[in-house]
Structure 1
Amino acid sequence: MARTNLVTKNIQKLLLVRKYSNLSTQNLWTRENIVNSPFNDIQLPSLNVTEYIWQNLDKWANKPATICGITNRSYTYNELYKYSRKFAVKLRTQWDISEGDVTCIMMSNNPEYAIVTLGSLEAGAAVTTINPLYTVHEVQRQLLLSNPKIVNGRPETVGVIKEACKNANMNLPIIVVKNTHENLPSGTICFHELIDDANVDFSVLNTIDKNIDDIALIPYSSGTTGMPKGVELVHRTLVINFLQQDAEGIRHYQHATDSHQESLLAVLPMYHMYGLGIILLQKLTTGAKIVILPKFERKTFLHAIKEHKTSLLHLVPPLASFLGSHPSVEDEYLSHIHTYICGAAPLPKQDIFQVLEKSKPNVDFLQVYGLTETSSLATTVPPGSKNYTSVGVALPSTKLRIVDSDDRNLGPNAVGELLIKGPQIMKGYRNNPEATKAVITDDGWFRSGDLASIDHAGVVTICDRIKELIKVKGFQVAPAELESVLKEHPDILDAAVIGVPDSKLGEVPKAFVVLKDGCKQDSINVKKFVEDRVASYKRLSDVEFMKSLPRNPSGKILKKVLRENCAKFC
């Protein structure tokens, strides 16, 4: 029986390989040079996020849903359902959370992240997430932008949250998820006491007006350029993206059954849509076991992979490079993995081959592409493909086009900006219609800000970034944010920030600074000024002082000139 199943799976994989390799025979390109998905359109759902996740609860109610990869603290699917609904009742009755309100999560990855998120959605609220590494300055700004009614944190983030609330003049309740050995910070509410309450009236939840076009998540993204903006993702677009990833010919996992359950590792941060949307929420719809780590540490990462027999592993380039090149990563750690999925940034082919050399035969290594604004995913490489340099084809119900600087559609293999159209596109940027209009055209196309090409078969290759975002070891750093911080310095008149190559981190921020007349500063003091105001990965690598910054006639800084000069002398 086992051999029959194996043969069947191999035949299915072979058929998928053939299907993907024969995409060129399909007429995906229209006369207008718009590229269609090779897959059938999906039927638009009528369920919100929690309804969609719980619709198959009875199939895997007693299977593990989330588990801590360090302490083994875990929740079954049934417990996840029960506790998230209890949390929703508490939000409604104790803090008067109602439809349209916002709850905030500022935590490192943990098994309770799912309960807080799903409970907030059950209560009718939208969820915004904050990087737990953020400084008081950064948290204060996001609190003012998102205006939550309550904040969920960990003991180590409470100090920053309190100071940020004070600076923002916001008196917000703080609910803390803590381990049994940790003390509850003063002035906060214990999360576990809320969900352990046996006297909960669930009928409260029956009064909630659930609309699939209500906002569900408000993650913050720098978009194509500039300061972080709240991306409004409604229930409908999120569920659509779950369905798109689950479509026939794209799905790279099996749904849980009585005898099978996928095991995946969640080490990528859940405050980001890759971790929250693709790894946590979408995989909960499939009955997978999600092993959660608060951060990457070599020993705990490898132990969790081996101990929990990880079958599906989501990566970003630095993690893939680690797996392929670090001598401590032996074949035995990767022996149960059947599929790697890599996103966030293009990955060199050599890094992929190094991972494959340590993996079992016929393992899949798939690169995917998406943005926060596309509810996570826009393109994917179908399972079975050996095309390691592309990010695959458009998801079902998704259209693509490549345009030049005048927005004229380009044909196959031409390089230009990638535009995306589909039901997974965000509603817009929160309270920022100008920024929304800049990236979503009148007829619904989203400007990705990325340079790409699409071949005759509809296969997408990302070439470079138009956007000025700097990617530091997978983290996005907005130059405009650092420039804004620099200009808060009393001695600085003008500033520009660009990304410069770094052998370990990929890119790092470098600042070009113009001082006010009569002022003197050195690079150490300027870097320290920024360091105190931003997360560690946003810190400046270097500061160069200039008499003036190069600008065009309209006043825009010519960063191309700065990059060229830097390349000559760095």
Structure 2
Amino acid sequence: MTEDFWADKYPSGLARTIDPDAYRNVLVALRASCTRFADRPAFSSLGKTLTYADLYRLSGYFAAWLQNNTDLKPGDRIAVQLPNLLQYPVVVFGALRAGLVVVNTNPLYTARELEHQFGDAKVRALVCLNTTAHSVAEILPRTQIQYVLISEVGDLLNPWRRFWVNAAVKYLKKKVRPYQIPQAISLRAALHQGRGQSLQDHDPDPEEVAILQYTGGTTGLAKGAMLTHRNLIANMLQCRAIMSYGLEDGREVMVAPLPLYHVYAFTLHCMVGALIGSHSLLIVDPRDLSTLIRVLHRYPFSIFVGLNTLFSNLCHRLDFQALDFSRLKATFSGGMALQQSTALEWQQITGCAISEGYGMTETSPVVAVNPFQNIQLGTIGIPVPSTDCKVIDEQGVTLALGSLGELCVRGPQVMKGYWQRPEETAQVLDAEGWIKTGDIALIQPDGYIRIVDRKKDMILVSGFNVYPNELEEVLAALPEVLHSAAIGVPDSHSGEAIKVFVVVKPGMSLTHEQVMQHMQTNLTGYKRPKYVEFRDSLPVTNVGKILRRALRNPDS
């Protein structure tokens, strides 16, 4: 669609464009926020809170240590392999202030996955927890990593609490396995040393790469998306514009259960959150719902950032239903399709509608969001300001409104390209700046966009396209279903047959016959499953997105 098409699709007061050059780089924006909101809380974790002034001071210590005690130069890559702890924003902002490129790394990665990412990115420095150091030690000799900083969970807590938390992790939970990394130093030692050293804040060009964000690898080998300072600034301002209705700078408390090393949470909490001076509650392990709910009891939270599986799991807990939701103004959903039954249940319990959005690693990541003023369930909303979208057919021809095709996106948040992969970059990003998303979508006449499914997840039954999202939405309407997934399996008669996996809610029962009857009632013949498998759980990514690929290829 052309820019003219989108011009009148925005709620009153919401600008169609932003200025991606409003800040020269992320560090200028960070400095401005840390000055403006100096005394306001920035991040809390495990009972300790850092103010914006604390964040700037501590990140400065780390940047100074990097500049004075290593030969790392601007543009060198540093991997940050930390969960949602106070150390994460300190290390990331410190690395950026020293001019390094941050490579976000999942702490749950296996040695094989670490070796691929570290080798591909040519990482020279690493910050990790002592709980994952054994995996690092295994592959370190096969990488270019020279500097390793080891952190402990309680590093930034007050002394007595630090002692007890670290002791519990090591001796009670036994999460620290033996490792040998002779060159490693502790993160606390580096911060202490950097405190007395000089710092020359880097002033990167807007087009310099700030983050090397690896794709989830759900469709193949993970690739590093080069996100520049201008990309991140653009998405910060785009999100602020479309999400800020009714929100107050310096006053909001954001729940951060999703891992910050994932681009969705990174952008909302470390980029947008810092821009508006919000207070992010860092949840170390979102799978520990009891601890998450205890944190929510303690703080008057006003923004919740999550995804469908987390919302669904929380809604079925009585201790969550008993929380005080009077301050909750906004709930954002991304990372996977939001099911309408989950959205309605959440709104009934919390009194707050869910605003579903859409993005991808390659777009920093936010592309579209449902504005609070007019949420349409079942859609991903409208493009964020300064963003254009269109759908194309297999030949690349732009399709009319209401037609199904591959969604393409153009805007200042679109990545520079894939790290050292020009051929793969050219396959998805054209000379005019349009990036192919790999998602099947349609654009409605009112400008709202519907994602039908992943192009690679589409099931072909006797020549008919079947989209798993539709089947999972129908399954979700069964009151007994907690989670579900649909895939295609080889079939000699129809090419592919549909198989669905179902997780039943605790204390409830569901039979194969009931599932088949429900699907027969609600779906035409070729969309009905041939196989039903009940499971206790489904494989998910680190952010809780169901991995259909793992169901199709359990040995991969």
Instruction: Classify 1:235/1:358 alpha carbon distance in 2 versus 1 (closer, same or farther; 3 Å).
Output: same
Report the equivalent of 2:310. Answer: 319
Report matched runs for 1:61-460 at 5 Å. 61-68=38-45, 71-166=46-141, 168-178=142-152, 179=154, 180-181=162-163, 182=166, 187=182, 188-197=184-193, 199-202=195-198, 204-206=199-201, 208-222=202-216, 225-247=219-241, 250-252=243-245, 254-257=247-250, 261-296=251-286, 297-360=288-351, 363-460=352-449
- 2:127 and 2:149 in contact (8 A); partners too: yes
TM-superposed CA distance for 1:400, in Å, is 0.7
Distance 1:125 1:253 in 2: 36
Q: How many residue pairs end up in the alignment?
A: 460
Q: Which amino acid aligns with 1:66?
A: F
Equivalent pair of 2:390/2:407 in contact (CA under 8 Å): yes
The separation in 2 between residues aligned to 1:499 and 1:99, in whole angstroms, is: 51
Cα deviation for residue 377 of structure 1 reads: 0.3
Instruction: Report if the CA contact (8 A) 1:364-1:384 is conserved.
Output: no
Displacement of 1:411 after TM fit? Answer: 1.4
Deviation at 1:34, TM superposition (A): 8.5
RMSD of aligned alpha carbons: 3.3
Change (3 A) 1:374 1:500: farther
1:220–1:229 Cα contact (<8 Å) kept: yes
Superposition deviation, residue 542 in structure 1: 7.7
SS in 2 for 1:205: coil
Give how far 1:283 is off.
0.4
Indicate yes or no: 2:37 matched with 1:41: no
- 8 Å contact kept, 2:126–2:145: no
Asked if the contact 1:133/1:535 (under 8 Å) is kept, the reply is no
SS at match of 2:374: coil
Tell me which of 11, 28, 32 is aligned to 1:55. Answer: 32
Secondary structure, in 3 states, of the residue corresponding to 1:121?
A: helix
Contact 2:6 2:447 (8 Å CA) reproduced: no
Shift of 1:135: 0.7
Name the CA distance, whole Å, in 1 between partners of 2:339 and 2:553.
Answer: 30
**1:558 equivalent in structure 2:** none
Q: Matches of 1:274 and 1:36 in 2, distance apart?
A: 28
- Return the alpha-carbon distance in structure 1 between the equivalents of residues 84 and 254 of structure 2: 14
Query: Once the 2 structures are TM-superposed, how far is the Cα of residue 439 of structure 1 from its aligned partner?
Result: 0.5
* Amino acid paired to 1:430: W
Note the alpha carbon deviations across 1:283-313, whole angstroms, 9 max, x for none: 0111111111111111111111121121100
1:347-385: CA deviations, max 9, x gaps? 11111111111113xx33200000010011010111132
Q: Over residues 153-196 of structure 1, what are the superposed CA-to-partner deviations in whole Å (9 max), with x where a residue is unaligned?
A: 01111111111212x24453211221233379763211122223
User: Which runs of 5 or more residues in structure 1 are unaligned?
Assistant: 1-27, 480-496, 506-530, 546-570
For the residue of structure 1 that corresponds to 2:437, the secondary structure is strand
- CA distance, structure 2, for counterparts of residue 267 and residue 163 of structure 1: 30
1:103·1:120 contact (CA, 8 Å) conserved in 2?
A: yes
Q: Is contact 1:37-1:396 (8 Å) kept?
A: no
Q: How do 1:462-541 and structure 2 match up within 5 A?
A: 462-468=451-457, 501-504=500-503
Give the Cα separation in 2 of the matches to 1:351 and 1:535.
Answer: 17
Other structure's SS at 1:378 match: strand
SS at match of 2:319: coil
- Distance in 1, Cα, partners of 2:203 & 2:416: 20
Q: Give the 3-state SS of the residue equivalent to 2:118 in structure 1.
A: helix
- Tell me which amino acid in the other structure corresponds to 1:434: E
Cα deviation 1:311-354 (Å, max 9, x = unaligned): 10011110111232333321424333111100111111111111
Structure of greater relative contact order (alpha carbons < 8 Å, 6+ residues apart): 1
How big is the shift at 1:58? Answer: 2.9
TM-aligned CA distance change 1:501 to 1:230, over 3 Å: farther
Using the size of structure 2 for normalisation, the TM-score is 0.76
**Conserved? CA contact 1:324–1:352, under 8 Å:** no
Higher deviation after alignment, 178-187 or 131-140: 178-187
TM-score, length of structure 1 as denominator length: 0.74
> Measured at CA, do residues 35 and 535 of structure 1 come closer, stay the same or move farther in structure 2, by a change above 3 Å?
closer
Letter in 1 for 2:321: E
2:9, 2:431 → 1: CA distance? 22
Task: Please list every run of 5 or more consecutive structure 2 residues that lacks an aligned counterpart in the other structure.
Answer: 155-161, 171-175, 459-467, 473-481, 489-495, 505-538
Identical-pair percentage: 23
Amino acid at match of 2:230: R
Query: Would the aligned equivalents of 1:413 and 1:454 in 2 still touch at CA under 8 Å?
Result: yes
Deviation (angstroms), 1:152: 0.4
**Would the aligned equivalents of 2:238 and 2:385 in 1 still touch at CA under 8 Å?**
yes
Alpha-carbon distance in 2 for matches of 1:451, 1:169: 38
Secondary structure of the 1:396 match is coil
Provide closer, same or farther for how the CA distance between residues 499 and 65 of structure 1 changes in structure 2, counting only shifts above 3 A.
farther
Distance 2:215 2:553 in 1: 26
- 2:440 aligns to what SS in structure 1? strand
Name the CA distance, whole Å, in 1 between partners of 2:386 and 2:543.
38
SS at match of 2:456: coil
Residue 535 of structure 1 and its aligned partner are, at CA, apart by 13
